[in-house]
């Protein structure tokens, strides 16, 4: 197998152009010890595409996202981002394990926001957002600051630059986490149940910010969510996973209005 992009069917994207996938899972399996939690996932995302991943707890949704973020390595199969493999690279026509430098470069293409915000508690909001552009992208202090302020403005927190995370609500913390991921200008973002840990009254402000980012368009987004209305509104395509497999996928209108499988029908009944 080669690491270079193979000839593929081009995908139509909005505007009638064609583009290679920005993300491609090829027969990805993942086990933890003896337990295989993903049984061979094939999934592609087009540049700028918004996909929602829905399904019961324990079905492997988070693991799918964490593998894209290189936080977990597939047991077998490959994941390509932007036409390059995540864990491997080609050397002299052979596939070898990726160097740290390769992984490092690939990681700059991917952003992730987690259920728990994971902000640096000892750093003010602005520094939480400037840290990675400075350390990872090597931006100057001024450039990183400018970018960070722009992102914090986008998530409605330009008045909180000099505040410590402990002084923020859960919704505000999550918005800082979103700004921190966005500031790296990733090609694809994974949002992993970003509202699950929030008080119900704070969920709306975070979903609203994500919707606005989605409308901007150019970044591909994987939205792992239990919020069905949100999935319906934001996603171009919804993927229903259960027991480590993709059971059904399609545009939200089709998937939610006419679920084909019994699994999805009963899942949606439970969610309503
Ligand atoms: P979901 O996001 O759909 O709830 P997860 O991807 O979190 O599902 O988990 C899928 C399965 O993998 C679960 O059975 C979970 O207990 C197991 N799992 C996830 N991460 C680990 C880990 N680091 N070690 C062992 N088991 C894990």
pLDDT digits over 52-84, tens only? 999 999 999 999 999 999 999 999 999 999 999
Task: Parse the chain into domains and list their residue ranges.
Answer: 14-117+188-271
Partners of 223 in the β-ladder: 52, 191
ipTM over 0.95: yes
pLDDT digits over 36-49, tens only? 999 999 999 999 99
Per-residue pLDDT at 271: 85
For 254, the enclosing helix (H) or strand (E) is helix 252-257
**What is the rounded average pLDDT of the residues 184-192?**
95
Strand-by-strand arrangement of the 76-81 sheet: 35-45, 23-32, 76-81, 84-85
Give the residue, out of 34, 35, 63, with the most ligand 1 atoms within 8 A of its beta carbon, to mutate for a pocket test. 63
Q: Which atom of ligand 1 is nearest to the CA of 66?
A: 6
Nearest to 263 by CA among 30, 55, 57: 55
User: Taking the model in full, what pTM does it have?
Assistant: 0.90
**What is the rounded average pLDDT of the residues 174-195?**
95
pLDDT digits over 218-244, tens only? 899 999 999 999 999 999 999 999 999
Query: Are 99 and 72 a contacting pair, CB within 8 Å?
Result: no
Nearest to 179 by CA among 207, 216, 144, 153: 153
Give the residue, out of 53, 60, 240, 246, with the most ligand 1 atoms within 8 A of its beta carbon, to mutate for a pocket test. 60
- Give me the CATH topology for the region 14-117+188-271: Rossmann fold (3.40.50)
CA of 38 to the centre of ligand 1 (A): 10
Per-residue pLDDT at 88: 86
pLDDT of 98 over the 70 cut: yes
CA of 61 to the centre of ligand 1 (A): 8
Per-residue pLDDT at 217: 80
Q: Which residues contact 66 (CB under 8 A, 6 or more apart)?
A: 72, 112, 192
More confident residue, 85 or 5: 85
Q: Please work out whether the CB of residue 61 comes within 6 Å of at least one atom of ligand 1.
A: yes
DSSP conformational letter for 49: -
Q: Which residues contact 258 (CB under 8 A, 6 or more apart)?
A: none
pLDDT of 119 over the 90 cut: yes
pLDDT digits over 258-268, tens only? 999 999 999 99
Per-residue pLDDT at 18: 63
Q: Which atom of ligand 1 is nearest to the CA of 72?
A: 23
Q: With bands split at pLDDT 50, 70 and 90, how would you rate the model's confidence at 89?
A: confident
Largest pairwise CA distance in the chain: 56
Nearest CA to ligand 1 atom 11: 58
Q: Please work out whether the CB of residue 73 comes within 6 Å of at least one atom of ligand 1.
A: no
Q: Which residues contact 173 (CB under 8 A, 6 or more apart)?
A: 117, 119, 165
Q: Is the four-CA dihedral 117, 122, 127, 131 of positive or negative sign?
A: negative
For 24, the enclosing helix (H) or strand (E) is strand 23-32
> Measuring CA to CA, how many Å separate 161 from each of 127, 177, 198?
8, 13, 22
């Amino acid at each position: 197998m080669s690491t270079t992009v193979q000839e593929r069917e081009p995908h139509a994207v909005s505007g009638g152009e064609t583009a290679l996938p920005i993300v491609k899972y090829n027969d990805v399996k993942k086990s933890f010890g003896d337990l295989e939690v993903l049984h061979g996932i094939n999934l592609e995302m087009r540049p700028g595409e918004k996909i929602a991943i829905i399904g019961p707890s324990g079905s492997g949704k988070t693991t799918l996202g964490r593998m894209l973020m290189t936080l977990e390595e597939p047991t077998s199969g490959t994941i390509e981002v932007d036409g390059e493999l995540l864990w491997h690279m080609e050397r002299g026509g052979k596939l070898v394990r990726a160097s740290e430098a390769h992984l490092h470069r690939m990681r700059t293409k991917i952003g992730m926001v987690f259920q728990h915000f994971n902000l640096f508690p000892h750093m003010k909001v602005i520094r939480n957002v400037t840290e990675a552009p400075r350390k990872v992208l090597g931006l100057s202090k001024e450039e990183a600051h400018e970018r960070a302020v722009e992102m914090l403005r986008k998530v409605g927190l330009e008045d909180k630059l000099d505040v410590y995370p402990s002084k923020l609500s859960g919704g505000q913390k999550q918005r800082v986490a979103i700004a921190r991921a966005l500031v790296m200008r990733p090609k694809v973002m994974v949002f992993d149940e970003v509202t699950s840990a929030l008080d119900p009254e704070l969920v709306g402000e975070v979903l609203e910010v994500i919707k606005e980012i989605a409308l901007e368009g150019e970044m591909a987004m994987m939205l792992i969510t239990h919020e069905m209305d949100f999935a319906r509104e934001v996603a171009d395509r919804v993927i229903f996973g259960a027991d480590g497999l993709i059971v059904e996928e399609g545009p939200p209108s089709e998937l939610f209005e006419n679920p084909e499988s019994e699994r999805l029908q009963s899942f949606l009944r439970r969610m309503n």
